[in-house]
């Protein structure tokens, strides 16, 4: 059994050279919102859910992105309503949010 049941990583990468990056699409706000929601729902901790920051996940063209393990499901979100759906559906109940999946061909 893994230490966490689910682990979500948010790319918070900020680029200063004008190239696209997740930080330009409110990634920090989404991360903070997810952290708050997971805690408020009592989902945080060993055997449950962990929300972590990440650097560039190299799928910038699909950004802003977050990835959930162990399922390795990639999400492209727009706003905090999308984050709520990921928390309520996937992190809480294991149901993948199909409408937010990052298109498989999108990489860097």
Binding site for ligand FES (CB under 6 A): 11, 13, 21-22, 56-60, 63, 65
Minimum CB separation of residue 26 from ligand FES in Å reads 12
Please say which residue, 39 or 53, places its beta carbon nearer to ligand FES.
53
- Nearer Cβ to ligand FES, position 60 or 86? 60
Q: How far is the CB of 67 from ligand FES (least distance, A)?
A: 10
Shortest distance, CB of residue 66 to ligand FES, whole angstroms?
10
Q: Whose structure tokens read 């330009």?
A: 24
- Which among 93, 105, 1 is positioned nearest to 43, based on CA atoms? 93
State the greatest distance between any 2 C-alpha atoms of the chain, in Å, as a whole number.
Answer: 43
- Given its phi and psi angles, is residue 62 left (phi above 0), alpha (psi -120 to 50 degrees) or beta? alpha
């Amino acid at each position: 059994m893994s230490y966490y049941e689910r682990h979500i990583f948010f790319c918070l990468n900020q680029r200063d050279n004008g190239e696209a990056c997740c930080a330009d699409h409110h990634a920090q706000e989404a991360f903070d919102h997810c952290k708050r929601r997971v805690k408020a729902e009592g989902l945080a901790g060993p055997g449950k859910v962990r929300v972590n920051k990440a650097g560039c996940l190299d799928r910038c063209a699909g950004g802003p992105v977050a990835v959930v393990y162990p399922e390795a499901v990639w999400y492209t979100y727009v706003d905090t309503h999308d984050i709520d759906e990921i928390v309520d559906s996937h992190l809480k109940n294991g149901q993948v949010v199909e409408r937010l999946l990052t298109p498989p061909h999108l990489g860097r």
